[in-house]
Amino acid sequence: MKTIHNRWQRLLAYTMGGFLFCSTALSLLSCNKVLDIDPYHAASEEQQWNKIEDARSALMGIYGLTRAALAENNRHWVCGDLREGDFTVRNRTDLKAVVTNNLKKSDALLQSVSNWKGFYAAINAAAIFIEKAPQILDKDRSYAESTLKYDVAQARALRAFNYFYMVRIWGDVPLITQSYDNGSFREFGKSPAKTVLNYAKGELREVIDQLPYQFGTTESQYYSQNPQYWQGMLFNKLSAYALLAHIAAWEGNYADVETYTQFILDNAAQIKATFTDIESLTEPTGLFNSETGLEIRGSKIFALNFPFSTRGAEATQSGHLEQWTLAYPLVQKTYPDIYVSKDSLYTIFKDMDDLRFGIDTASHLYRTNYVTNMNAEIPVFKKINVIQNGSSKDGDYAVFGSAIVFTRLEEISLLRAEALVALNRGAEAMDPYNDVRLTRGLGQQSYKKDFGQDDQKLLNAIFEERRKELMGEGWRWYDQIRRQKILQDNPTLLALIQNGGIYWPLAQEVLNNNTQLSQNDYWK
C-alpha cells in the first residue's frame, strides 16, 4: 500500500512538475503572441490604408465630420439664421443671447458654438486623406487612379468649404494645410481671412477640373454605385463653382461671382439641378429630405445629408432646424423654441400671392408651405419639415432626416442677380431675379417700372427675395452683411462690420490651448 502511494505520489509530482516546466517554457516562447490582441474597435495605422473600402470610409468620414461641424448645436442656423435674424426666440435664454449679439454670455451652447474644433476635425481628416490615400493604389488594384483623383479632389474641396465657413464665422482663423498627424500639435496663429480665402480659392481652382458633374458612369461605377445614386450627395464640379462664387461674394469680388454663377446656371442640367416648385421644396419628401426622389435630388448643389433609411441610421434629433421650429400639430411638442412671428411674416411677405406665405385664393386661408398654425398665437415654421424619412404619419419619434442644404439653384440665381447689380448691370439682374419670383407665384417685375432703374432699390428687393426664399437655410446673417457692405444704410451693422463684431468670439477652450491665439478684438 505504501509503495503504491509513493509511486502515485512520485508520478503525480513528476506530472505536475512537468506541466509546470512545459507551461513555463511554452509561455516564454509564446508570450508575445498571446499578448498580440488587436482592439476590436480601432484600426492601427497599418490596418487603415490597405483597401478600397478604407478609402471610402475615410472619405465619407470627411463628409460626416463636416456635417457634424455644422450640426453641432445647430451651428448652421445659430450662426446663419438666428443672429439679428427673422426668428423670434420663445423662451431659451441662450438663443436669445445669439439674437441680440450677446455672444460672450456665460452659456454652454455659446461656448460650444464658438469652438471651431469640429471644422478642424474635418480639415484634419481631409489632410490625412490627401496624404495617405494614395498608398492604397499599390495595395489594392480595385482602387483605380481615377477614383483616387475624384476622392482627393473632394477632400480638398471639402477642406476649402470648411475654411470658408469658418472665415464667415470667425474672420481670421489659423490656416493649416497639412495633417501634422504625428502628435506634435503645433500651435498655429491666425492667418488673415484674406489669406485663408485665397487658399480656399486656390484649392478649388486646382481641383475644379478634376471634379465631375456626375460621379462615375453606369459602366464604370464610382464605389459600385450608379451616377444617379450620388446626385445631391457629393461635392461635384458645380458645388465647387458655387463655393467659389460665395467666396468671391464674401470678398466683394462680384465680377468673379458673375462668372461662376453664369457657369452654374449654364451647366445646371449636367447635375440635374433645376428650380424647385414650392411643393417639391417644402413637402416632407421634398428637396430638404436627405433621401429625396431622383427627380429633384440633383437640385441640391451641395448638401449634407442625414438619411433616415429604413434603419433610422443617421436621422437625428439635434442638428436640424426642426429641432427648434417644429411643434404641435406636426410633432408632439407644445411650443416651438423659435418661430417667425406673425408680425414678421406680414412684414416680410408683403405680396399675398406669394406661394411661400400668402393667401390661398380658393380657400382664403394662409398658405401652409412655410408656416402653419397661423390661428394660434405662435405659428410654426415648417418650411423644413422632415420627420424621420418624411413619411411619418403621426409626427411622433421626431428624429429628423432633413439635409443641411448649403445651396440650390434659386440661391445661385439670386446671388447672380445681386452680383449683376453690384456690377452696375441692373437690367441684366432682372432675369435671374424674376426667375425665382415666377416660381413662387409672384409677378414679373421690371427694372424700369418697378425700380425706376434704381440699383439700390433693386438690390434691396433682391435681398428681400433672398430673405423670403432662403428663410431657415442659414443665409440671413451673411446676406445682411453683404447687403450692408454695398448699401451701407444701417450704421449699427456697419459699425459691427468695421470693428469685427460680426464675427464670433473664440471659445475659452480654444484660447486656453493655443498661446498663439488671442480673442477677437471686438470681444476682448
Partner 1 sequence: MTLALTGAHLRVYSSAMYHTNKGRLKWASDTLDRDSIAEQRKLAAAAKEMRQGHQISQQSLRSNDTIFVQDLEKSPYISVQQYLKGNAAGVYVQENNGEPGTVQSMTIRGIATPIFSNKDVPAVQPAVYVNGLPLIANHPFTYDIKQYDINPLGTGNNLFAGLDMNNVVSIEVIKNPARLAQLGPLATNGAIWITTNDASNVESDQRISLNVASGIVMPTQTIHPTNASYEWAFRKQFYDAYNLPFDSQQLPTYFQDASDPHYFGSANWPDAYYGMGQQYNADASIRGGGHIANFLFKAGSTRNAGAADQTSYMKNNISFFVNMRPLEALQMKAMIYGATASRNRNRNLRDRYAETEYFPDLSAPMAPNGDAYRNYLSLYNETDDRNNTNYINGYIKLDYLKKKFNFGANLLFDYNIDIRHVFWPSTLMESVSFVSDFSGYNRRVVTEGYGSYAFDLNQEHQFNLRWDGAYYADLHHYNYTKAYDGTSDKYKTTKSGSYKTYNYIDKEQAALLTSSLQVAYQYQDLLTLTALLRYDGYSKVQSDRRWLFTPSFAAKWNVKNQWLRESEQVSDLSLGVSWARIGKMLGYDRFSVGPAYTSGNLNWEGQPAIPSYNLFATFTRPYGTGWSAYDIGWPYADKLNIDLNGSFFSNRLAMALSLYQNDDRDMIIPLAVPQEFGYEYQYLTGMDVSNSGADLTVSGIILAHKKGLQWHSSLNLNYNQNELKALPNGQTDLTFGDRKLQVGQSIDQFWLYENQGITTNGDAQWADVNHDSQINEQDKVLKGHTMPRFTGGLNNHFTYKKFDFNFQLFFALGHDALNVRDARRYDFTTMDGQQSLDALREIYTWQSTNQRNDYPIYNPTSETHPYRQDQDLFLEGLSYLKLRSVSMGYHWDISRLGKKQAKEAKDLYVYGVANNLWTLSSFSGGDPELVDFNGYYTGYNQYLPFSLSVGLKYNF
Retrieve residue 249's grid coordinates. 461674394
C-alpha cell at 155: 477632400
Q: How far is CA 199 from the centre of its chain?
A: 20
d(Cα 295, Cα 297) in Å, to the nearest integer?
Answer: 6
DSSP 378: S
Q: Is 329 in the site for partner 1 (CB under 8 A)?
A: no
* Interactions with partner 1, residue window 439-458 (CB under 8 A): none
Q: Looking at 47-55, 137-145, 294-302, 437-445, which segment touches partner 1 (CB under 8 A)? A: 47-55
Smallest distance from the beta carbon of 167 to partner 1, in angstroms? Answer: 14
* Maximum Cα interatomic distance, the chain, rounded to a whole number of Å: 126
Q: How far apart are CA 137 and CA 159, in angstroms?
A: 22
Confirm or reject binding of residue 326 to partner 1 (CB under 8 A). no
Selected range binding partner 1 among 261-269, 329-337, 441-449, 491-499, rule: CB under 8 A: 329-337
Confirm or reject binding of residue 120 to partner 1 (CB under 8 A).
Answer: yes
Of 43 and 269, nearer to partner 1 (C-beta) is 43
If one counts every other C-beta atom within 10 angstroms of the C-beta of residue 139, the result is 12
Query: Which of 61, 134, 441, 500 lies at the binding interface for partner 1 (CB under 8 A)?
Result: 61
User: Is 277 near partner 1 (CB under 8 A)?
Assistant: no
CB of 292 to partner 1, least distance (A): 13
**Closer CB to partner 1, 6 or 488, in the complex:** 6
Site for partner 1 in 90-119 (CB under 8 A): 90-95, 102, 105-107, 112, 115-118
Nearer to partner 1, 7 or 205 (CB): 7
Phi-psi region of 160 (alpha: psi -120 to 50; beta: other; left: phi over 0): alpha
Q: Is 488 left (phi over 0), alpha (psi -120 to 50) or beta?
A: left
For the segment 134-193, give every residue that binds partner 1 (CB under 8 A).
Answer: 174, 176, 180-181, 183, 185-188
User: By CB under 8 A, what part of segment 354-393 binds partner 1?
Assistant: 388
Listing DSSP states for 285-297 in one string gives TSTTBTT--HHHH
Residue with cell 432646424: 321
Closer residue to partner 1 in complex, CB, 116/451: 116
Taking each helix axis from N to C terminus, what angle separates 237-251 and 193-207, rounded to the nearest 10 degrees?
160
- The one-letter code for the residue type at 455 is D
**H or E segment to which residue 458 belongs:** helix 455-469
CA contacts within 13 A on the Cβ side of 110: 21
Q: How many other C-beta atoms lie within 10 A of the C-beta of residue 192?
A: 13
Min dist. Cβ of residue 82 to partner 1 (A): 14
Site mask, partner 1, residues 330-359, x = CB under 8 A? Answer: --xxxx-x----------------------
- Choice from 394, 438, 443, 521 touching partner 1 (CB under 8 A): 394
Residue closer to partner 1 by CB (options 265, 386) is 386
Number of residues near partner 1 (by CB under 8 A): 105
With cell 480595385, the residue in question is: 142
The continuous run of DSSP H or E covering 338 comes out as strand 338-339
CB nearer partner 1, residue 305 or residue 369: 305
Nearer residue to partner 1 within complex by CB, 11 or 438: 11
What residues from 23 to 42 belong to the interface with partner 1 (CB under 8 A)? Answer: 23-24, 27, 31-32, 34-42
Minimal CA–CA distance to 315: which of 378, 389, 251?
Answer: 389
68 counts as binding partner 1 under rule CB under 8 A: yes
Q: 71 to 90, contacts with partner 1 by CB under 8 A?
A: 71-73, 90
CB contact at 8 A, 307 and 291: yes
242 binds partner 1, rule: CB under 8 A: no
